[in-house]
C-alpha cells in the first residue's frame, strides 16, 4: 500500500495510523509531529463518530479534476477511545445513514480511484463492514 505520507501507517498486516505521544505529558495526537517532543504511537483501529459533514463543493483545480469528475464525500472526526480524535473520510456508508456516535473501523481508500498506482488515504467505515 502506498501511503499519502511516509510514516502515516504502521507496516502490519492490519495497518494502523501512527499518532504521536508527547514524551512529557503523555498526550496523544494525530499525526505524529516532527521533532523530539513526540514518540510514534500506533493508534487503535476502532472508534465512534464525534462529528461530520459532507463536502459538496469541488476544491480548487489543480490538483482536483474538473467539475465533471467531482463526487461529494463525507468527512468526520472519529474519537479513538482513550487516545485522540482523527479527521478522516467516511467510506462505504450512504450520507443518509451517517449518525453521530456510530461505531467505525479504520480502512484505507484510494485518493484517486482512477489512478493506475493509487495513493492510499485513511478513512473510517461502519464497524460491521470491517468484520
Give me the half-sphere count of Cα atoms (radius 13 Å) on the Cβ side of residue 53: 4
70-94 confidence digits (pLDDT tens): 788 999 999 999 999 999 999 999 9
81 is a domain residue: yes
Dihedral in degrees, nearest 10, Cα atoms 109, 113, 115, 116: 80
Contact 95, 107 (CB under 8 A): no
The chain-wide mean pLDDT, for the chain, equals 90
Determine the structural domain holding residue 106 and report its residue range: 44-130
Q: pTM for this one? A: 0.89
pLDDT in tens, 2-46: 788 888 999 899 999 999 999 999 999 999 999 999 999 999 999
| Tally of CB atoms within 10 A around 38 | 19
Residue 57, in any domain of the structure: yes
Q: For residue 52, give the CATH number of its domain.
A: 2.40.50
**How many domains does the chain fold into?**
1
Does residue 7 belong to any structural domain of this protein? no
Is residue 108 in some structural domain? yes
In a domain, 1, yes or no: no
pLDDT bin (cut points 50, 70, 90) of residue 99 is very high
Q: Residue 62: its pLDDT value, please? A: 63
Amino acid at each position: 500500500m502506498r501511503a499519502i505520507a511516509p510514516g502515516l501507517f504502521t507496516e502490519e498486516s492490519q495497518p494502523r495510523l501512527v499518532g504521536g505521544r508527547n514524551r512529557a505529558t503523555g498526550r496523544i495526537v494525530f499525526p505524529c509531529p516532527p521533532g523530539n517532543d513526540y514518540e510514534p504511537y500506533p493508534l487503535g483501529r476502532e472508534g465512534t463518530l464525534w462529528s461530520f459533514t459532507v463536502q459538496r463543493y469541488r476544491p480548487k483545480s489543480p490538483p482536483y479534476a474538473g467539475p465533471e469528475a467531482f463526487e461529494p464525500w463525507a468527512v468526520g472526526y472519529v474519537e479513538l477511545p482513550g487516545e485522540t480524535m482523527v479527521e478522516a473520510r467516511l467510506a462505504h456508508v450512504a450520507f443518509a445513514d451517517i449518525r453521530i456516535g456510530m461505531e467505525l473501523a479504520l480502512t484505507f481508500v484510494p485518493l484517486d480511484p482512477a489512478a493506475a498506482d493509487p495513493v492510499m488515504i485513511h478513512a473510517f467505515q461502519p464497524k460491521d463492514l470491517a468484520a
